[in-house]
Structure 1
């Protein structure tokens, strides 16, 4: 059964660095047992917000509650919170196993080898458990940082770009570990520049631009904000497909687009329902449809639209 208390409640969070406004009145409410994505362009305030959640910085204005407790003005990690920003802090001269033992001891946590072995297995580092960290790739360091956070048994896990440097196998281990945590009631907040990662993992997302929240809510609601997208169609007869597209309401061929990739694919701009009408019309006309896909994924398109509005001052 999931906790009904909010994992994070923020209101009017503001943070300055000299004359720079890193966060400008940010509000946020996160429910427990969910994976929440944080996205935004460089300088949007993502790392600053994560730092506040981890107790690495304090806000200049506004209120912040983490796991039901107000966060004060002292620099200290709230109880039950773990994670990292700007990459995990590790000891390069120690092995992965000894890193975890040392970090657990510093936090007063379980240093038994069985528990350390468990978290190493969760992130897929069992085979390199006794290798020195100085020889680890970026992706392996990210996974070890996640293992260190798991060792503390957090109720709120805060991760900054956890997919950096991960190969497909590493990404599979990390994604599986984060889903298991959420299923167990842990709240996960992760920042990423990769909208495909957010789409694969997150139920909801917050988009920041210039220190302000541009959107916060379910991923489906974000995708709906993009009414029209460019879609690439692979068909048995591109020329015929173009003629059919010209007769379907709500479908148009953007200037400079049209048939691309060696005259095999047709690019059209349309909403989701209009694309469905186009596919039905193509089938009725005897044109076989091999593939239909957005040129830019809907979530990425919505992200770009929201952040470009901010840059344009809208």
Structure 2
């Protein structure tokens, strides 16, 4: 028997008075998938996450979670966990006491509290009161609380807020392992680097509508032109090669002299490949080559600007 999708949404629409928060949203998330949810402020991300957690119900459309139709609030099936706008914690209790209270409510999981605290990197502060925790520590404790429920669908809203590099490493590790074990994870974030590092697919919301959904790799079209930072062993030759390579445009920087070490070029992928080949033929080493703006961020900006323009034209 085929495993049902973790999320299947069709035509989801949600109103708040006269405001259309979600407008015909479709969403598919498979088990074991890390799915990014991005969009500008007011795009409808928090509303959608609330529907998936059962905190509200759609006014129109059909929503299935873990194979179960959901038509009313607080009716999501067992196996769904997560948080919106930060985890709900008891500040006067310690991290361990917070998890113990949750385990007692569920009647399960108490024996794994230390394991989950270790997974999120909070073992050393397990007996400290949460009121003294930083934002990043609270986010990690919220993740540990979600793990207690052994979720099959995990919903996270800005889980990397306030995380230092060590904290981010713990969170990345936990989420990657969950997905490998078959848990679907929906990750809403304003940080494109988090989404690109973790997620195989992404949904971009703009003005309550889906501007794009699918594999992140599809956003980086070979025909689209991106800006790249280029650092080479011979900037003079590299600058000349850039001027001579078809499809490559050399951008002016704050230090536009021919011997300036850093070059900024604009090029589609095929022209970029030819530029690199030409540098190699000229015996010029490429020490750094990276997009100024990631393909996901570039697509995000383009799609959301287009959506905003379309909405404005529809209302005029």
1:4 partnered with 2:9? no
Cα displacement (A) at 1:304: 1.2
C-alpha distance in 2 between matches for 1:287 and 1:184: 45
Query: How large is the Cα RMSD of the aligned pairs?
Result: 2.0
Shift of 1:224: 2.3
- For residue 105 of structure 1, what is the aligned residue in structure 2? 104
Structure 1 pair 226–54 and aligned structure 2 pair: CA distance change class (3 A): farther
1:301 to 2:294 alignment = no
Determine helix, strand or coil for the equivalent of 2:249.
coil
Q: Work out whether residues 6 and 65 of structure 2, in 8 Å CA contact, stay in contact via their aligned partners in 1.
A: yes
Aligned: 1:51 with 2:50: yes
List alignment gaps of at least 5 residues for structure 1. Answer: none
Q: Check whether the contact 1:233–1:265 (CA below 8 A) recurs between aligned residues.
A: yes
Name the residue aligned to 1:245.
242
Match of 1:204 in 2: 201
SS at 2:220's partner residue? helix
Name 2:41's counterpart in structure 1.
Answer: 42
Distance 1:275 1:30 in 2: 34
Is the alpha carbon distance of 1:137 and 1:48 closer, same or farther for their aligned partners in structure 2, counting shifts above 3 Å? same
Aligned residue in 1 for 2:224:
227
2:145 is equivalent to residue 148 of structure 1:
yes
What is the CA distance between 1:58 and its match in structure 2? Answer: 0.6
**1:276 correspondence with 2:273:** yes
Work out whether residues 84 and 158 of structure 1, in 8 Å CA contact, stay in contact via their aligned partners in 2: yes
Report the counterpart of residue 314 of structure 2 in structure 1: none
Deviations 1:77-106 (A, max 9, x none): 432100000000000000001101112223
Q: Which moved more, 1:38-47 or 1:251-260?
A: 251-260
CA contact (8 A) 2:36 2:199 kept: yes
Residue 76 of structure 1: CA displacement? 3.9
Provide Cα deviations, 1:39-76, integer angstroms capped at 9, x if missing partner.
01111111110000000011011110000000022334
CA separation in 1, counterparts of 2:13 and 2:154?
A: 22
User: Structure 1-normalised TM-score?
Assistant: 0.94
1:225/1:302 contact within 8 Å kept? no
Residues 267-304 of structure 1 show CA distances to partners (whole Å, capped at 9, x for unaligned) of 11101221111111122234332221111111211111
Q: How does 1:100-139 map to 2 (within 5 A)?
A: 100-106=99-105, 108-112=106-110, 114-139=111-136
For 1:160 and 1:261, the matched residues in 2 are separated by 46
Question: For 2:267 and 2:146, how far apart are their aligned partners in 1?
Answer: 44
Moved over 4 A (4+): 255-258
- 2 CA distance for matches of 1:258 and 1:151? 54
1:312 maps to which residue?
A: 309
